């Protein structure tokens, strides 16, 4: 009996994720992004810029805190890695919020969200992301802490 060629099943195309759906939130304002890993910082900065935000990058929490101390009213959002040398993201955020209690913040980490929330009590304007995160997850977190698009 001769072998018949395998019949391929019609494939269902994977729906394309449009850039506009990933970056559906649009806004403005100045953001501090602190991460000791340059690659993560670069990718996150590009994503934040695509949302319309102006990003100032720093390598640790001390730099982020110094920026807020120097110009507290300038910033709309701080995005911090939880684990950094010199000053961790959660401690930096606590100190930043002591200066500007209304400033929005996003902490991200390899820890689970439950562990992060345990270290930093839930409050309005503060979001959490688990690493590794997608550009869409970052965009959604920004929308969650900053509110509707402008």
| Phi and psi at residue 84, to the nearest 5° | -140, 150
What domains lie within the chain, and their CATH numbers? 26-146 (3.40.50.2300)
- Reported as a single tens digit per residue, the pLDDT across 81-131 is 999 988 999 999 999 999 999 999 999 988 766 766 666 666 778 999 998
This prediction has a pTM of 0.82
């Amino acid at each position: 009996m001769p072998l018949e060629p395998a019949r391929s099943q019609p494939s269902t195309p994977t729906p394309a994720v449009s850039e506009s759906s990933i970056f559906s939130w649009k806004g403005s304002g100045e953001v501090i992004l602190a991460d000791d890993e340059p690659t993560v910082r670069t990718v996150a900065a590009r994503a934040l810029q695509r949302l319309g935000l102006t990003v100032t990058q720093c390598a640790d929490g001390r730099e982020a805190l110094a920026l807020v101390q120097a110009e507290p009213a300038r910033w709309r959002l701080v995005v911090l890695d939880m684990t950094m040398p010199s000053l961790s993201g959660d401690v930096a955020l606590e100190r930043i919020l002591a200066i500007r209690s209304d400033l929005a913040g996003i902490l991200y980490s390899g820890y689970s969200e439950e562990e992060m929330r345990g270290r930093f009590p839930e409050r309005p304007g503060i979001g959490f992301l688990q690493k590794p995160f997608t550009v869409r997850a970052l965009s959604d977190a920004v929308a969650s802490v900053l509110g509707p698009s402008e």
